[in-house]
């Protein structure tokens, strides 16, 4: 039995004035995998994720998310999107923030889900704290919890581990693995090459195009390199 | 349109401001402080006794009434001819000329300053009431023709300013708070997050309207209670009608705030819109100068400002005691509804420009 891919992009182009952020993006994310979108700053990672989240409309190409248009998937509350900065309401408590996002996603009995999400990010004891009083790492964890409340099929995480200490980063990846094991598809962007080994498959992105897709080992072998960083350089130079 | 999501947005706004003590203080304490000042400055303006020429050549009233009128402590009365009175009025020596035309008592006032005019009119009415009531003649009080005045003899300038200040404060604070709040949504990334949920742009704007209307109505209650019970301002109108006018005005104020937030990059820039949006309304909406006294070329501008209609409606309701069903009040509310709808549609469109 073949399973439909969670995300398929073909020749996606997106321009902001004179800058062409995506120049024919092709990618395929299989259901239930952790897909790492790896590339330097300005390579088009955030633009790609925003297109998948239905926030930007590509000018060209096709983009299918969970079998339909990005906006249809978002409207059906099947997508969770964690922005690069932990976009939360600083003057609300953790609980109030999560209740709000749960309501927007149409979650009816949110309390149980909130408790579960907070347990997942290990912040249950801070549920009554006002977000402005939390550390940066804690806010990032609340931000992740806010994307889990409606049990999305696809989780879009834009550089979720930026500014997160190594210990917490390890915990985060453990959470991501757990979520993938429960059947959720994860698209995780990162500019840190050593996070690649934690993903099932990778897309190396540069200049608004995916240079190559595959597992870390496949990409290294394909480039005839010894590590992923060298593979990235070799693949970029080959284009 | 999902009412649960709209309610969630409104609740989020209300909960957020609960911890923002400064903004809440601004919303409720600032109008009270400003109204106290207005009360101190203009509420006492009625104490000034105006000098009035009683035009005896055109005042065919029984002598005892004229005597009591001239001698009233409410005015500094002078006898004179009509022409002489007008001359003195033009030169600024006196504040008013009083004469009788048939059964109508005319009060000719200088009229450039409505606040001053109100004070003079009130004093003359008091003097006339004293003069007529003090006699035992079977004379009905003559009709008084004063264009600016609607209230009774004990009305102060504050009575005429309070209705428009209710509208002004609601518009000013709600506009400012909604502009800054929505700007924060844009700059902190929460708007992007909201747009990646099933929430529709119209639902977001509606939620904002509901959340801020809650504060606007609370503010209106504070202002009304303070002006009625502390400043002793007279209100004749129906409280529910006042709230309806207030609510439709707030729809425009919130939506305009959302629109402005699209044009501003930071909170400082949002605040810089205050003079552009509000100062024209201070001068052209009838708040300080009656609209019919504005130069012709400014009237079209006055006609497109929401506060013009809110002021007219609130003055009609609160001073004249007009009901909601009055054509003038309905027309004003209708214009405010159209303004609010146009601004709300603009606000929805402005969100689209920001996030696809």
Q: Kindly report, residue by residue over B215-260, the tens digit of the pLDDT.
A: 888 888 888 888 878 877 777 778 888 888 888 888 889 888 988 8
Average pLDDT, chain B: 80
From CA B11, how far away is CA B156, in angstroms rounded?
40
Residue B278 to chain A, least CA–CA distance (Å): 28
In contact, B111 and B289? CB cutoff 8 Å:
no
Of the residues A103, A107, A114, A151, the best mutation for testing chain B's interface (the one with the most B CB atoms within 10 Å of its CB) is: A103
Condensed to tens digits (0 to 9), the pLDDT of residues A31-59 reads 999 999 998 888 999 999 999 999 999 99
From CA B144, how far away is CA B153, in angstroms rounded?
12
The residue of chain A nearest to residue B190, with distances taken between CA atoms, is: A87
Q: Which two tokens stand for residue B129?
A: 């009431």
3-class DSSP state of A25: strand
The residue of chain B nearest to residue A132, with distances taken between CA atoms, is: B19
Q: What is the pLDDT of residue A2?
A: 59
From CA B176, how far away is CA B260, in angstroms rounded?
9
From CA B321, how far away is CA B273, in angstroms rounded?
35
From CA B27, how far away is CA B178, in angstroms rounded?
12
Residue A38 CB neighbour total at 10 angstroms: 27
Rg for chain A, CA atoms, rounded: 18
Residue B253 to chain A, least CA–CA distance (Å): 23
- Contact criterion met (CB < 8 Å) for B197 and A85: no
- Contact criterion met (CB < 8 Å) for B189 and A85: yes
Of the residues B181, B197, B202, B352, the best mutation for testing chain A's interface (the one with the most A CB atoms within 10 Å of its CB) is: B197
Q: Which strands form B96-101's sheet, in the order they lie side by side? A: B76-80, B51-55, B96-101, B104-109, B143-145
Q: Across the interface, which of B8, B190, B356 has its CB nearest the CB of A55?
A: B356
- Contact criterion met (CB < 8 Å) for A53 and B12: no
Residue A55 to chain B, least CA–CA distance (Å): 5
Q: Across the interface, which of B9, B20, B198 has its CB nearest the CB of A91?
A: B20
Kindly list the structural domains of chain A, giving each domain's residue range(s) and its CATH number in brackets, ordered by start.
1-78+191-239 (3.40.50.300)
Q: Which strands form A185-190's sheet, in the order they lie side by side? A: A79-82, A154-158, A185-190, A34-38, A201-206, A209-214
Please determine, for residue B155, whether its predicted confidence score (pLDDT) is greater than 50.
Answer: yes
In contact, B166 and B246? CB cutoff 8 Å:
yes
Give me the total of CB pairs closer than 8 Å, taking one residue from chain A and one from chain B. 76
- Contact criterion met (CB < 8 Å) for B196 and A74: yes
Contact list in B for residue A50 (CB cut-off 8 A) is 192
Please determine, for residue B139, whether its predicted confidence score (pLDDT) is greater than 50.
Answer: no
The packing angle between helices B201-225 and B239-263, to 10°, is 130
DSSP labels, B8-43 = HHHHHHHHHHHH-HHHHHHHHHHHHHHHHHHHHHHG
Q: What is the pLDDT of residue B138?
A: 41
Please determine, for residue B335, whether its predicted confidence score (pLDDT) is greater than 90.
Answer: yes
Q: How far apart are the first and last CA of chain A?
A: 36
Kindly list the structural domains of chain B, giving each domain's residue range(s) and its CATH number in brackets, ordered by start.
3-42+156-354 (no CATH), 47-145 (3.40.190)
Q: Across the interface, which of B4, B16, B196 has its CB nearest the CB of A91?
A: B16
Average pLDDT over every residue of B173-195: 90
Q: What is the pLDDT of residue B135?
A: 55
From CA B111, how far away is CA A85, in angstroms rounded?
60
From CA B192, how far away is CA A82, in angstroms rounded?
10
- Contact criterion met (CB < 8 Å) for B19 and A130: yes
Contact list in B for residue A75 (CB cut-off 8 A) is 198
Beta bridge partners of residue B145, listed in sequence order: B106
Please determine, for residue B287, whether its predicted confidence score (pLDDT) is greater than 60.
Answer: yes
Q: Pick from A232, A208, A203, A176: which is nearest to A48 by CA?
A: A208
- Contact criterion met (CB < 8 Å) for B193 and A87: yes
């Amino acid at each position: 039995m073949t399973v439909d891919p969670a995300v398929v992009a073909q020749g996606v182009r997106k321009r902001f004035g004179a800058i062409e952020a995506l120049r024919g993006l092709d990618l395929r994310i299989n259901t239930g995998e952790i897909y790492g979108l790896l590339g330097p700053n300005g390579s088009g990672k955030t633009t790609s994720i925003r297109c998948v989240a239905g926030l930007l409309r590509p000018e060209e190409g096709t983009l299918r998310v969970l079998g339909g248009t990005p906006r249809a998937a978002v409207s059906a509350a099947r997508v969770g999107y964690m922005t690069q900065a932990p976009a939360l309401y600083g003057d609300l408590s953790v609980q109030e923030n999560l209740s709000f996002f749960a309501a927007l996603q149409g979650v009816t009995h949110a309390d149980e889900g909130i408790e579960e999400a907070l347990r997942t990010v290990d912040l249950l004891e801070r549920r009554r704290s006002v977000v402005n009083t939390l550390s940066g790492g804690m806010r990032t964890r609340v931000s992740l919890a806010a994307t889990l409340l409606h049990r999305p099929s696809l989780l879009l995480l834009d550089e979720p581990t930026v500014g997160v200490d190594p210990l917490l980063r390890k915990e985060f990846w453990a959470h991501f693995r757990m979520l993938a094991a429960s059947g959720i598809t994860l698209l995780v962007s990162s500019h840190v090459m050593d996070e690649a080994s934690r993903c099932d498959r990778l897309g190396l992105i540069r200049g608004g195009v995916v240079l190559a897709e595959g597992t870390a080992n496949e990409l290294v072998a394909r480039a005839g390199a010894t590590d992923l960083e060298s593979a990235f350089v070799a693949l970029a130079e080959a284009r | 349109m999902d009412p649960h999501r709209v309610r969630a947005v409104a609740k989020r706004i209300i909960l957020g401001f609960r911890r923002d003590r400064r903004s809440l203080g601004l919303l409720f304490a600032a109008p009270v402080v400003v109204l106290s000042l207005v009360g101190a400055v203009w509420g006492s303006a009625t104490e000034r006794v105006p000098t009035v020429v009683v035009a005896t050549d055109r005042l065919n009233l029984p002598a005892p009434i004229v005597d009591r009128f001239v001698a009233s402590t409410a005015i500094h009365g002078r006898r004179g001819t009509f022409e002489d009175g007008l001359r003195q009025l033009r030169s600024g020596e006196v504040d008013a000329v009083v004469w009788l035309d048939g059964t109508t008592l005319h009060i000719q006032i200088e009229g450039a300053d409505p606040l001053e005019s109100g004070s003079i009119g009130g004093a003359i009415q008091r003097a006339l009431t004293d003069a007529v009531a003090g006699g035992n003649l079977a004379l009905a009080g003559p009709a008084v023709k004063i264009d600016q005045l609607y209230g009774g003899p004990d009305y102060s300038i504050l009575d005429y300013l309070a209705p428009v200040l209710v509208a002004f404060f609601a518009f000013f604070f709600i506009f400012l708070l909604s502009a800054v709040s929505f700007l924060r949504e844009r700059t902190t990334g929460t708007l992007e997050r909201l747009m990646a949920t099933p929430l529709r742009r119209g639902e977001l704007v509606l939620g904002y309207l509901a959340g801020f209307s809650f504060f606007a109505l609370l503010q209106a209650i504070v202002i009304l209670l303070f002006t009625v019970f502390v400043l002793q301002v007279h209100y004749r109108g129906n409280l529910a009608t006042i709230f309806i006018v207030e609510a439709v005005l707030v729809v425009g104020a919130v939506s305009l705030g959302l629109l402005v937030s699209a044009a501003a990059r930071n909170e400082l820039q949002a605040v810089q819109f205050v003079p552009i949006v509000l100062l024209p309304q201070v001068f052209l909406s009838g708040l300080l100068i009656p609209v019919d006294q504005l130069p012709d070329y400014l009237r079209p501008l006055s006609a497109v400002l929401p506060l013009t209609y809110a002021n007219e409606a609130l003055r009609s309701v609160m001073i004249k005691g007009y009901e909601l069903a009055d054509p003038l009040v309905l027309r004003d509310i209708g214009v405010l509804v159209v303004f609010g709808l146009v601004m709300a549609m603009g606000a929805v469109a402005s969100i689209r420009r920001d996030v696809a």
